[in-house]
Amino acid sequence: MKYLGILFIFLFAFAIFVTFTVIAEGDIENILNTADEQNGLLNPDETDNIQVFKNYIIKENEFAEPENFINSKTSEYFKYSEYSGENTKNIEKQIIISVYDAKTNEIESIDLNEYLCGVVFSEMPSSFEIEALKAQAVAARSFCVYKMLCSTDAIREEHHGADICNDYTHCKDYISYENACEKYSEEYILPLWEKIKNAVWDTENEIITYESEPAITVFHAISGKETESAENVWGNAVPYLVSVPSEEENNKNEIRNYITESIYNADEFKDILISNGFSLRADFSKNESVWVTNIKLNSSGRVDTVDICGKTVTGRRLREIFALRSTDFTLEYKNQAFIFTVIGYGHGVGMSQYGANLMAKEGKNYKEILLWYYTGVEINQAGKFF
């Protein structure tokens, strides 16, 4: 009987292993990474270089080639642990994400929830409302799961085989608890970290999906009257990344640097443009007052294109050249100076972090916030995709 018991336990464990291996390596639909080349440089936002599931495409790389990709490594992302409830026995999946440290050139495997604490701490002020922090945790988790499942071989090569990196210009900013304590002091960090940890664990394994697939949940810091559509920024329509009203304009006095100005005299303005390739086809011989003409806005009210000295440039390109906080700006020549007046911060697509905090202050919970900023999505468990 003793040996029969051992044999039964072995067979049961093996059956569980086979079952979860099949689930983990199951039929994940091909992910098509295609994009038209865009004019100008990418914005410096951490979420600008991205791709999207299925037919809803945003660029992963400025000059990426079309590629079909199926991730066959998903079985590596789970450890399994059993725990007993009052009446039932459940199997909980612990998702492990591999992170490339751009500073040390090392790869570390981290529990996803632990990693998210460091991401949320780095990406959103810990003083924000708890429901806003929860919304940020779900959005960041969704972004991570998407990267784990959908990154192309080329992107994985950039990460030296890891799922994601800690370079905020490429993936997501991240700091460990230990490094945060070393940088600021544990006495200061501990209560903030506990608040963020609660936001992460209260939303454990929850991600955003669209049509039963993980969504690429980009976000930004501050919008104006409304968010931006993915189509206006990256040239490809994404059904859940469309423009929606946001609360910042009505609460601008509560937001530091909601409006900023950048001022240049004519020589500075000209030199910056020339250093960025505007010497070709641009005619600076006319009076400075007529250098800037024909400012066109897109459907969200942000700058689409501007004519400068006879050359058309996109709002995104101007943002890059002059290091503007967003493309929601006006440009005028006044008192012998070119004045950019800029609203908000970031590309404007997806969830506005400050908008989320304002919604939380009004009593909205994290699910209401997410369903507002990501149109037509659902909130599901990440485990079903592995």
Q: Report domain extents, the chain.
A: 29-220+353-385, 259-343
In angstroms, rounded to a whole number, what is the distance separating the alpha carbons of residues 210 and 240?
A: 7
Confidence at residue 95, expressed as pLDDT on a 0 to 100 scale? 86
Confidence at residue 170, expressed as pLDDT on a 0 to 100 scale? 60
Cross-strand partners of 210:
213
Nearest residue to 94 via CA among 222, 225, 201: 201
Confidence at residue 362, expressed as pLDDT on a 0 to 100 scale? 96
Confidence at residue 331, expressed as pLDDT on a 0 to 100 scale? 98
Residue 305, SS3? Answer: strand
Could you state, in chain order, the average pLDDT of each consecutive group of 10 residues for the chain (386 residues)?
48 39 25 26 35 33 27 32 31 74 81 91 94 97 87 71 70 80 92 96 95 93 96 94 96 94 97 86 89 96 96 95 97 97 97 97 98 97 85
Confidence at residue 91, expressed as pLDDT on a 0 to 100 scale? 42
